[in-house]
Amino acid sequence: MDIVTVTFFVLLLFQGVCTFILLARLFRGAKRFPPLTPQFANPQQLAKVSVVVPTLNEVNRIDGMLLGITRQTYEVREILIVDSYSEDGTREKVKDVAQKDPRVKLLSDPPLPSNWVGRPWALHNGFLASSQDSEWILGIDADTKPQPGLIPSLLNFAETHDYDVLSLSPQFILKSGGEWWLQPALLMTLLYRFESSGVNAMTPETVMANGQCFLIKRKVLEELDGYAMASNSFCDDVTLARGAAMKGYKVGFADGAKLIKVRMYEGLQETWHEWGRSLDLKDAASRAQLWVECGFLALVQGLPLPMTIFGLLNYHDYDFLSFKLLFILNLFLLLVRFALLGAIAPSYEKGKSASSLLFWLSPTADTVAVARIIISALSKPKTWRGRNYG
């Protein structure tokens, strides 16, 4: 055998194994819980929840969250906005809402310790300031748009299935063509690596979570010492959820596309820099697990398009079996990827402009998305949400 034949055979072997793993995950996703729907609160849910919202210079993004969270009914005991001394008018906007809704309280977190990241620090202090009478703590991000009936639906689902921790995947709001092209490819890296929303993870190491809407029992958070285990994590939601799962708590991740929307980043560049550098989840995994996942992504998501193109251009130049099988396998993986667009389409608010059509071409961004994950895995963020970290 020459080196080319051996290379194709080895690549076929590794891709074949990874394809079976991917298909097993996708088949489990076909049996997932359906998306949660809005529900009405009942008297048993009276004042069960303290909502904690971390903010830092969110004046241009916070309106939808404030409107949506104050529309939640009597299941909410208090809404604690933990602000890190915003200077853009965020605090004034919160104070205006607090005058109309007594549940809303503006807090300021203490100076950030050197061993903490800003977001978990704010959430931790919100938890410490929350009422002891609340059974649940709900972390909500400032860039979200909670829909009516969100919290009763969360509570009912968590209590029905005995979850100690429950978070939701949102419906994303995209605008520019670059976002429609790249963001779904980045989202797909999570779907390929872990279980989809609505599926219970098989091991703590594969637990997924979303801090944009993160519900946890108060007694569980007390036993975990608040957010301390995720103090220096840039993916504190997944770090905390996996830590809870490793301690035996039941962690759920459900489809909340009908309950909460989010406009995360503005444009292609911000999506690449801001979201791309946290999706590797390196702070919630061992180094070995991280690089195994990167290799897996490269094989089943990053390579299929270039390998299919290579195969089409060179189909008659190589007549050995491993090349033919490798071409067929990559073509199959590419077809699976395009088919998955239909599965994730409900996770996006329908676009009103022609740029939204680029969603259907997002598989062509897969190689770029996988490269972004690998680049992110090689370094630690030095800036995050307006803060600098050493």
Question: Residue 388, Cβ neighbours under 10 Å: how many?
Answer: 8
Is residue 220 within 8 Å of 134, Cβ to Cβ? no
What is the crossing angle of helices 287-297 and 366-377, to 10°?
Answer: 160
Question: Does 228 reside within a domain?
Answer: yes
pTM: 0.94
Q: pLDDT, tens digit, for every residue of 271-308?
A: 998 888 789 999 999 999 999 999 999 999 999 999 99
Cα angle 369-194-165, degrees, rounded to a multiple of 5: 120
Question: Does 388 reside within a domain?
Answer: no
Residues 165-180 have a mean pLDDT of 97
Question: Does 114 reside within a domain?
Answer: yes
Question: Does 308 reside within a domain?
Answer: yes
Which candidate, 160, 149, 142, places its Cα nearest to that of 88?
142
Under 8 Å CB-to-CB from 131, ≥6 apart: which residues? Answer: 50, 77, 78
The tokens for 47 are 């004042």
Among 29-38, 243-252, 379-388, top mean pLDDT goes to 243-252
How far apart CA 248 and CA 229 sit, in angstroms, is: 15
Q: Which domain holds residue 297?
A: 1-383
Return the minimum-mean-pLDDT range out of 60-74, 189-203, 223-237.
189-203
Output the domain CATH number for residue 374.
3.90.550.10
- Residue 365, exposed/middle/buried by CB under 10 A (0-12, 13-18, 19+)? buried
Residue 390 has pLDDT above 70, yes or no: no
Question: Dihedral (C-alpha) 348, 349, 354, 356: value to the nearest 10 degrees?
Answer: -10
Under 8 Å CB-to-CB from 120, ≥6 apart: which residues? Answer: 227, 230, 231, 233, 236, 240
Residues 220-226 have a mean pLDDT of 97
Residue 23 has pLDDT above 60, yes or no: yes
How far apart CA 114 and CA 191 sit, in angstroms, is: 33
Whole-number Cα distances in Å, 277 to 129, 141, 224, 271:
31, 18, 27, 9
Whole-number Cα distances in Å, 171 to 83, 168, 279, 318, 350:
25, 10, 17, 45, 10
Instruction: Please name the amino acid found at residue 371.
Output: A
Q: Is residue 137 classed as helix, strand or coil in its secondary structure?
A: strand
- Residue 44, exposed/middle/buried by CB under 10 A (0-12, 13-18, 19+)? exposed
Question: Does 24 reside within a domain?
Answer: yes
Tell me how far the alpha carbon of residue 337 is from its chain's centroid: 19
Instruction: Please name the amino acid found at residue 219.
Output: K
The tokens for 151 are 């919290």
Total number of domains constituting the chain:
1
What's the confidence (pLDDT) of residue 6?
87
DSSP H or E segment with residue 68: helix 63-70
Q: Sorting pLDDT into bands at 50, 70 and 90, what band is 134?
A: very high
What's the confidence (pLDDT) of residue 319?
75
Question: Does 390 reside within a domain?
Answer: no
How far apart CA 343 and CA 347 sit, in angstroms, is: 9
